[in-house]
A and B are shown apart, each in its own frame.
Chain A
Amino acid sequence: MYKWLPFPENISTFGVGVDKLFMSIYWLTLIVFILVTITLVAFLIMYRHRPGHKAAYIEGSTKLEIIWTTATTVIVFGLALLSYPQWNKIKSPTQLPTPEVIVQVSAKQFNWDMTYPGPDGEFGTEDDLELENQLHVPEDKVVHIQLTSVDVIHSFFLPNLRLKQDALPNRFITVWFEAMETGNYEIACAELCGFEHFGMRGFLTVHSEADYEAWKAEMWPPQ
């Protein structure tokens, strides 16, 4: 990424696309901003009041109106077209990639309860593993998070994965990601959820394949 923009490192597959889109809008808006500002400042200097100088009588120009209306419409539609596929890829419930790992995440004031299926690979059985605020996933695997809340609305925010999804009480929303780098990262709550909202912090550990197996063997010992 561009060094002057302090993004946290991106580690997710779709995050690359999100960052690219951000940068396209960044350049687009920067250019528009610079052009508008230069025009504004130039006009202010060139047309400042001087004695003996009279303003021109110009009521408008239909041609110019049509040009800039069309131009901005085309630009914003173009931008929207670029974004539809990205959005669907990340959030569309009908385009979810097949999961290799599933974790249930339940938000409650002010913790993230992470439930792993355990050795039998099924939720709701006795060998489920519950961890507070600890999300462990393997690298380069599609992970599904089944997100819900037991009280108010929270928002599951993983800055490094460019992923954010609100958690709603009594609804189960599935989001996915695929992490490309191992390491430890932070999880934040992004939706105001009460007085300890600021402290609702979780931890994401992305393991390499081998590490992940070792972690499983330790945490989910086969009975």
Chain B
Amino acid sequence: MQENEKMSHENDNDEHHLPANGDNGTESHDHDHDHDHDHDHDHDHDHHHEESFISKYIFSLDHKMIGKQFLVYGLLMFFVGGGLALLFRWQLAYPERPIPIIGASQQYIDEGEVATGADKMWERIYESDKEEWLEVNMPSGVITPAFYNMLFTMHATIMVFFVVVPILVGAFGNFLIPLMIGTRDMAFPVLNMLSFWLAVLAAVIMTVGFFVPGGHAAAGWTGYAPLSADPQWTGVDWGQNLWAISLLIQGFSSLVGSINYITTVINMRAPGMTFFRLPLVIWSLFIVAILLLLAFPVLSSALALLIFDRLAGTTFFTSTAEGGGDPLLWQHLFWFFGHPEVYILILPGMGIASEMIPVFSRKPVFGYKSMVYAMIAIAFLGWIVWGHHMFQSGMQPSLGAFFMTTTMLIAVPSAIKTFNWLGTLFRGSIRFTTPMLHSIAFVSMFVIGGLSGIYMANTPVDIYIHDTYYIVAHIHYVVFGGSLFAIFGGVIYWYPKMYGRYMNDTLSKIHFWLTFISFNCTFFPMHILGIGGHMRRISDPTQYEFLQGFQGMNIFITMSAFTLGFAQLILLFNFFWSMSRGKVAEKNPWNVNTLEWEAPTPVPHGNFEQIPTVFRGPYEYSVPGEESDWIPQAQPEHAPATGGD
């Protein structure tokens, strides 16, 4: 930081000594960036020849293209994950009833006739003597209990590992970090490309799992051993192996990416861009990269041991009366990774919201430093709360007190962030653009999710609500209500920089309201189911007498879920349609201070014509005595140079 402070002074007299900028930071070239265009773009990977389609769109080394690749990847997987959820939601609303359109009609099942529509398909399947995939998993279009377990396992696995993390970290991380810290690319562009293609490989392997004999992993996204450790308990053979292998690869992809982010943020900030002038979203991505770097190896080792148990006959996670390993070891390893992972899912969301709220309130973010410290506190506390997932697991109960205390404490930085967002709105001049609507939804949904966390952090109350729909509600309020609303908002907000066009605002608004309403109709009632004792992960609640009364609510939830799913099609359409048809956007359509908007649109290879110099913090809006209500970070004239400090 000291060094950077010095650097910014040097730059005040316009000398452009820019150490390490644009280079990969490992060698310290101290070359002058003159205004010669070619020289400016001179760094290892950037050649000024016409790029072929393949090197531009497929094996791209450009952080922006890799970011967009991750975005499209994440959005496509979002539809796979969502589709799986709709399938099992049908089963929960109407257990044992064939799925409409793809399932056989009741008449067909009863009488074996009526050969119209889907019935034809089922007839053909019944007549062929092959063991058809559909017939095994959904005879006549009714989801079997084993398939049900596969569906929710893969729904959560895909959403967590293949949607939210790739979009938040892969897409926003890649696109925003170099642009917002003012550099030309990531520190290690080749590693960056590797990170994306590893993620693709992982997704392919994960998909293949559906079609292997025995079916896909069915032990939940948490993969508790011994259920996951031995095929005899589930009948799932290679599905579970592929699940583990795919996650190992995905972990490697995240690891490579995180090393890249950390190096880039530490070494390649533009002159004058001190740590305390970093936009909050960059702080969040930086912290998340550190969390990923430290957390994923724990999951990877657990997965490796699981694979040994399954394929090499070891007993790390299984026990026999004579000895062997311990099933709780898996849970400790999984949650030691898993809790930091859930913060990986939310911190960049918080960062994204923290960008949009000041911009659309035309006000500095309230308590910049306390926002940063709160994120750091969350990142530290996140390592010592994992036991809150294991209160009822048979872990020594006296540990419960410790984990309850740390978990309750983590609510404090969460509350600080919420109050600061409210403080940012206070006496602002709020514009209700669609990204802002998403940010507001983010804050209020996150509040609900954080508050429901307190119930479960409370050990005696958790005895009752653990493993019920209460947790399902909590998860979705934080991850869907939180992270996904931030993602939607962020996509709309940065779309003009990514694709040079706006997304269609009418469609965006329709998508927002439909999503906001149907999201709440889908997930709020789940709190009530949880209070009623409705267990999670059961394929047929009507088996239980004490759950009979909830069937109406389950049907309502399913209807809302289908609406929610439909609303996302609008987003998908709008996203791809606007790439070529959207209104062309100007360079800085929202009047934002941060550096990504200094770059020309569409952003060229190498990002900036000239590396900007930073003179102030990122949130100088409505500064008294100024004519304009925003002062870009790179604008020299008004150099109070204290910025966010």
- Chain A residues in the interface with B (C-beta under 8 A): 5-8, 17-18, 21-22, 25, 28-29, 32-33, 36-37, 39-40, 43-44, 47-50, 53-61, 64-65, 68-69, 72-73, 76-77, 79-80, 83-84, 86-88, 90-93, 109, 151-153, 155, 157, 159-160, 162-166, 168-171, 173, 185-186, 188-199, 201
Contact A186 B544 (CB under 8 A): yes
Contact A44 B425 (CB under 8 A): yes
Q: Which of A90, A93, A188, A194 contacts B234 (CB 8 A)?
A: A194
Could you mark each residue 339-359 of chain B with 1 if its beta carbon is under 8 Å from any beta carbon of chain A, else 0?
Answer: 000000000000000000000
Contact B412 A69 (CB under 8 A): yes
Contact B623 A57 (CB under 8 A): yes
Tell me whether B560 is interfacial, beta carbon within 8 Å.
no
**Nearest-neighbor residue (CB-CB) of B619 within chain A:** A59
Contact A79 B629 (CB under 8 A): no
Which of B369, B423, B432, B644 has the most CB atoms of chain A within a 10 A radius of its CB? B423
Contact A58 B226 (CB under 8 A): no
Tell me whether B235 is interfacial, beta carbon within 8 Å.
yes
Tell me whether B539 is interfacial, beta carbon within 8 Å.
yes
Question: Beyond A33-B447, A44-B430, is A56–B412 a contact (Cβ under 8 Å)?
Answer: no
Q: What is the distance, in angstroms, from B547's C-beta to the closest C-beta of chain A? A: 9
Contact B543 A6 (CB under 8 A): no
A residues in contact with B234, CB < 8 Å: 194-195
Residues of B400-437 at the interface with A, using a CB-CB cut-off of 8 Å, are 400-401, 404-405, 408-409, 411-412, 415-416, 418-420, 422-423, 425-432
**Nearest-neighbor residue (CB-CB) of B145 within chain A:** A195
A residues in contact with B409, CB < 8 Å: 73, 76
How far apart sit A61 and B541, CA to CA, in the bound complex (Å)? 51
Contact A76 B543 (CB under 8 A): no
How far apart sit A90 and B463, CA to CA, in the bound complex (Å)? 9
Q: What is the distance, in angstroms, from A108's C-beta to the closest C-beta of chain B? A: 11
How far apart sit A215 and B5, CA to CA, in the bound complex (Å)? 83
Q: Which of B227, B398, B422, B427 contacts A36 (CB 8 A)?
A: B422
Tell me whether B384 is interfacial, beta carbon within 8 Å.
no
- Stretch of B122-130, B167-175, B270-278, B389-397 with 4 or more beta carbons under 8 angstroms from chain A: B389-397
How far apart sit A90 and B464, CA to CA, in the bound complex (Å)? 12
Contact B427 A55 (CB under 8 A): yes
How far apart sit A37 and B405, CA to CA, in the bound complex (Å)? 27
Q: Which of B218, B220, B624 contacts A195 (CB 8 A)?
A: B218
Question: Beyond A58-B423, A153-B224, is A201–B543 a contact (Cβ under 8 Å)?
Answer: yes
Which of B409, B447, B535 has the most CB atoms of chain A within a 10 A radius of its CB? B535
Contact B425 A190 (CB under 8 A): no
How far apart sit A109 and B146, CA to CA, in the bound complex (Å)? 14
Contact A186 B461 (CB under 8 A): no
Q: What is the distance, in angstroms, from A159's C-beta to the closest C-beta of chain B? A: 4
How far apart sit A155 and B227, CA to CA, in the bound complex (Å)? 13
Q: A43-B428, A164-B392 are in contact. List 19 more A-B contacts (CB 8 A).
A: A22-B455, A25-B458, A44-B440, A57-B363, A58-B366, A61-B367, A65-B416, A69-B412, A72-B412, A80-B404, A83-B459, A86-B460, A87-B401, A153-B224, A155-B392, A160-B546, A170-B319, A191-B467, A194-B227
Contact A164 B427 (CB under 8 A): no
Contact A164 B622 (CB under 8 A): no
Contact B146 A195 (CB under 8 A): yes
Q: What is the distance, in angstroms, from A190's C-beta to the closest C-beta of chain B? A: 4
Tell me whether B454 is interfacial, beta carbon within 8 Å.
yes
Contact A59 B366 (CB under 8 A): yes
B residues in contact with A58, CB < 8 Å: 363-364, 366, 423, 426-427
Q: Which of A55, A56, A57, A169 contacts B226 (CB 8 A)?
A: A169
Contact A54 B429 (CB under 8 A): yes
Q: Which of B404, B447, B546 contacts A186 (CB 8 A)?
A: B546
Tell me whether B528 is interfacial, beta carbon within 8 Å.
yes
Q: What is the distance, in angstroms, from B642's C-beta to the closest C-beta of chain A? A: 10
Q: Which of A109, A168, A190 contacts B233 (CB 8 A)?
A: A109
Q: What is the distance, in angstroms, from B479's C-beta to the closest C-beta of chain A? A: 19
Tell me whether B545 is interfacial, beta carbon within 8 Å.
yes
- Stretch of B254-262, B303-311, B320-328, B593-601 with 4 or more beta carbons under 8 angstroms from chain A: B320-328
**Nearest-neighbor residue (CB-CB) of B539 within chain A:** A198
Contact A6 B531 (CB under 8 A): yes
Q: Which of A25, A53, A68, A166 contacts B392 (CB 8 A)?
A: A166
Question: Beyond A47-B427, A152-B233, is A192–B537 a contact (Cβ under 8 Å)?
Answer: yes
How far apart sit A79 and B458, CA to CA, in the bound complex (Å)? 8
How far apart sit A109 and B549, CA to CA, in the bound complex (Å)? 27
Q: What is the distance, in angstroms, from A112's C-beta to the closest C-beta of chain B? A: 14
How far apart sit A188 and B364, CA to CA, in the bound complex (Å)? 52
How far apart sit A68 and B414, CA to CA, in the bound complex (Å)? 11
How far apart sit A144 and B632, CA to CA, in the bound complex (Å)? 68
Residues of B199-221 at the interface with A, using a CB-CB cut-off of 8 Å, are 218-220
Contact B362 A55 (CB under 8 A): yes
Tell me whether B196 is interfacial, beta carbon within 8 Å.
no
Contact B408 A91 (CB under 8 A): no
Contact A79 B454 (CB under 8 A): yes
10 pairs of residues in contact across A and B, judged by CB atoms under 8 Å: A8-B533, A29-B454, A55-B362, A61-B367, A83-B460, A86-B459, A159-B533, A170-B321, A190-B466, A195-B149
Top 10 A-B pairs, shortest CB-CB distance: A60-B367, A198-B538, A159-B533, A76-B408, A56-B427, A195-B146, A91-B397, A55-B429, A55-B622, A86-B460
Q: Which of A22, A68, A155, A157 contacts B415 (CB 8 A)?
A: A68
Q: Which of B400, B425, B459 contacts A47 (CB 8 A)?
A: B425
Q: Which of A32, A40, A152, A201 contacts B451 (CB 8 A)?
A: A32
Contact A162 B454 (CB under 8 A): no
**Nearest-neighbor residue (CB-CB) of A5 within chain B:** B531
Q: Which of B318, B363, B422, B443 contacts A56 (CB 8 A)?
A: B363
A residues in contact with B430, CB < 8 Å: 43-44, 47-49
Tell me whether B361 is interfacial, beta carbon within 8 Å.
yes
How far apart sit A179 and B361, CA to CA, in the bound complex (Å)? 57
Contact A60 B361 (CB under 8 A): no
Contact B444 A37 (CB under 8 A): yes
Question: Beyond A64-B419, A109-B233, A169-B327, is A198–B540 a contact (Cβ under 8 Å)?
Answer: yes
Q: What is the distance, in angstroms, from A22's C-beta to the closest C-beta of chain B? A: 5
How far apart sit A55 and B218, CA to CA, in the bound complex (Å)? 53
**Nearest-neighbor residue (CB-CB) of B397 within chain A:** A91
Contact B411 A151 (CB under 8 A): no
A residues in contact with B426, CB < 8 Å: 43, 47, 58
Contact B629 A195 (CB under 8 A): no
**Nearest-neighbor residue (CB-CB) of B406 within chain A:** A80
Tell me whether B106 is interfacial, beta carbon within 8 Å.
no
Contact A55 B629 (CB under 8 A): yes
